Structure 1
Amino acid sequence: MAHTIAEIAAALGAQAVGDVTLRVSGAAEPAAAQVHELALAMDPKYAGGLAQGAAVAALLWQGADWHALGLKAAIFAPRGRLAMAGLSRMMDAGPAIAPGVHAMAIVDASAQIGAGAAIGPFVVIGAGVVIGAGARIASHVSIADGARIGVDALILQGARIGARVVIGDRFICQPGAVIGADGFSFVTPEKSGVEEIRETLGQRDVGTAQSWTRIHSLGAVTIGDDVDIGANACVDRGTIRDTMIGSGTKLDNMVHIGHNVQIGRDCLLCGQVGIAGSSRIGDRVVLAGQCGVNDNIFVGDDVIAGGGTKIFTNAPAGRVLLGYPAVKMETHLEMQKALRRLPRWMKNVAQATDKGE
């Protein structure tokens, strides 16, 4: 679908100049942009690419000389990436799922399907499920008994929603995600090796027999509004109380949330983050790729943890963390500087020892 420059600028709350009646049907990087596409050049470093591409309109940085760049029209937005978010939303038609319930979907007679919902082929919807108005559910999704999903949800191919899961409005779920699987919770009749290690910090009675008995998950998962779940992410249901994810929180691909975990509002959890059971995560927490959070601890509001950080103890609100184990970022940087100097220090020590100093 094509949009005029004026329409795009109005939708973004941005300023448009030049021939604002020009129509574009897509967006592209400057060097690859065609005449019918809007070039995305929100930083001066992309200016050179405009000459290589064929675009006649572009999204530019504030103060750019659009005449000198050879353009017929331009849009200026004070925050480029935010403008790109709005632009991408305008131009993303989303998956093509025909309105109504596909003939090859299986929907229990007791399920309630909201007005305007679109249910694709091979979808299975269990007893007592409630699907909100305007929801779009792609092929091969399964939604188990008693689940409730809010309005305008988008659940993509092969996702699995477990029994009794409750999800808010405007939910987006990428392919292959599993929400509401059994929690990984086991106990031994005798004291386990893990319990011994926690008590002794290293010593254990090796060779003692032990067997694992499952603790079943009687809880479910509760998810707020405007939550995104990435591809192949897994959110386990709680043992007794629900695992919870607050409104506005975003999970990347292959994130794992353990049983009973409580996650606050507007958090950002990047790829391969793992949060162990019964931990609590505050609001606006950012965990970069491959961060790990130990079980039964608390990570305070506004904590930011860099990639690969392993958090083993409670983290105070507002702390910026890095490393394994997690320490303040500035402390980690000093530790790394000292580590890089270590070979030189050892060489100096060896030379001094050889000289008998």
Structure 2
Amino acid sequence: MTDFTLTQIATALGATLEGDGDLRVTGASEPSTAKPDQLALAMDPKYGDGLSEGRARAAILWQGADWKSLGLKAAIFVPRPRYAMSGLTTLMDPGPDIELGIHPTAIVHPTASIGEGCAIGPFVVVGRDVKIGTCARIASHVSIAEGSALGDNALILQGVRIGARVQIGDNFIAQPGCVIGSDGFSFVTPEKSGVENVRQSLGDQGEAAQQSWTRIHSLGGVRIGNDVEIGANSAIDRGTIRDTSIGNGTKLDNLVHIGHNVQIGDDCLLCGQVGVAGSSRIGNRVVMAGQCGVNDNIFVGDDVIAGGASKIFTNAPAGRVLLGYPAVKMESHIEMQKSLRRLPRFMKSLKQDK
């Protein structure tokens, strides 16, 4: 078990320490359940009462807290508590237990290139001409298909599938079960289908012939920048001709689906169950809350924020805050909902006036 002095923690966080800096802790805890060897996280006054229920000797506290009166031997003060959590968890997370070297059950193609300091776990399959950078950690049952490349310091967790011709930058994290480089969902009919007629007429599918769907194969790949994280059971389709791409610093939550040819910019945040349909373009620093949907072949501008379950059917200009189905300006959506709630009372008064 790894332990840390409070001085080490405060230095890592760039925080202020008061009290006994030599006090050692083995982990972090909520205040009410903290043990003597754990650091209590009471970064807001509303969590202060919990300190009396737990047995912590040290805590991270809100600015101005009287740590001595709380019965503590030391305290760490941070200006931005939530941001401090990123540094604290980075320091204390031991990461997955993957032994250095290549496990005897792994299958690595002779033409594959494996960088120094890599750890490749049981039953991993690395295909022809794959390139893996230095210090990559690849957990059990991962497969990496032919012609793909991983940058330095990759962390690929259990059961991840990386398809052919996928190019990934440095510091990449793939959570268990995600699939990168699956075929795009592209099908066409010999003659115009009912779907195409509806798109033109906005409602009338016409006299579409009975016909079967024919696959359009995916010849492109997937390109992913540096410092990207893909959540568990997410799926990113390869492009039809050009590559599907995800920019530097972008984070995808669990169960996110990115369609073929989609272009996503830098530092985007896509939360659980977001779906982006084929050939759409997403700008930089876009945030989409859970269950947002983006129509195909549209553009979402830089710094757009979309609230939960919003459905974006048309181009969204940069900086717009969206909500609703279909997505509109958040302030417009709130007014619409207010009006909708007033309708029963309005109809009742209308009948009385008659």
How high is the TM-score relative to the length of structure 2?
0.99
| Superposed displacement of residue 203, structure 1 | 1.2
Aligned partners of 2:59 and 2:74 also within 8 Å: yes
Structure 2 counterpart SS, 1:244: strand
Deviation for aligned residue 1:146:
0.7
Q: For residue 209 of structure 1, give the secondary structure of its aligned residue in structure 2.
A: coil
Q: Which residue of 1 aligns with 2:198?
A: 197
Q: Which runs of 5+ in 1 are unaligned?
A: none
1:281 alignment counterpart:
282
Read off the aligned partner of 1:37 and give its amino acid letter. Q
Distance in 2 of aligned mates of 1:206 and 1:190: 11
Flag structure 2 segments of 5+ consecutive residues without an equivalent. Answer: none
Q: What is aligned with 1:261?
A: 262
Partner of 1:111: 112
Deviation string 1:267-300 (CA, Å, 9 cap, x unpaired) is 0000000000000000000000000000000000
Note closer, same or farther for the CA distance 1:103–1:5 as it changes in structure 2 (3 Å cut).
Answer: same
Aligned partner of residue 242 in structure 2, secondary structure: coil
SS at match of 1:321: strand
* Aligned equivalent of 1:323: 324
For 1:342, the equivalent position in structure 2 comes to: 343
Measured after TM superposition, the shift of residue 206 of structure 1 is 5.5
Asked if the contact 2:18/2:75 (under 8 Å) is kept, the reply is yes
Cα deviation digits, residues 5-28 of structure 1 (max 9, x gap): 000000010011100100000001
Deviation at 1:120, TM superposition (A): 0.2
> Whole-Å Cα distance in 1 between the matches of residues 295 and 317 of structure 2?
15
**Residue 230 of structure 1: aligned partner:** 231
Residue deviations 1:15-47 (CA, integer Å, cap 9, x gap): 111001000000011111110000011111100
Kindly indicate whether residue 29 of structure 2 is the aligned counterpart of residue 2 of structure 1.
no
CA distance in 2, matches of 1:28, 1:295: 44
2:128 is paired with a residue of what secondary structure?
Answer: coil
Query: Does the CA contact (< 8 Å) of 2:193 and 2:208 recur in 1?
Result: no
Q: How far apart, in 1, do the equivalents of 2:54 and 2:194 lie? A: 63
Residue identity in the other structure for 1:325: P
- Offset, 1:179: 0.2
Which amino acid is the alignment partner of residue 165 of structure 1?
A: V
Alignment partners' CA distance in 1, 2:268 and 2:205: 39
Q: Whole-Å Cα distance in 1 between the matches of residues 239 and 138 of structure 2? A: 25
1:131 equivalent in alignment to 2:132: yes
Letter in 2 for 1:347: K
* 2:186 alignment partner in structure 1: 185
| Corresponding position of 1:151 | 152
Residue deviations 1:226-259 (CA, integer Å, cap 9, x gap): 0000000000000000000000000000000000
Q: Secondary structure at the match of 2:48?
A: helix
Amino acid at match of 2:351: A
Structure 2 counterpart SS, 1:343: helix
2: CA distance, partners of 1:205 / 1:319: 36
Identity of aligned residues (%): 71
**Paired residues, number:** 353
Output one character per residue of 1:50-80: Cα deviation in whole Å (capped at 9) or x when no partner.
Answer: 1111101001111111111111011101000
Matches within 5 A, 1:26-41: 26-41=27-42
- For the residues of structure 1 that align with 2:225 and 2:42, how far apart are their CA atoms? 35
Q: Provide the C-alpha distance between the structure 1 equivalents of 2:101 and 2:244, rounded to a whole number of angstroms.
A: 32
Shift of 1:208: 2.7
Residue identity matched to 2:155? L
User: What is the one-letter code of the residue matched to 1:190?
Assistant: E
Give TM-score scaled by structure 1 length: 0.98
Report SS of the residue matched to 1:239: coil
- Provide the rounded CA distance (Å) in 2 between the counterparts of 1:205 and 1:279: 27
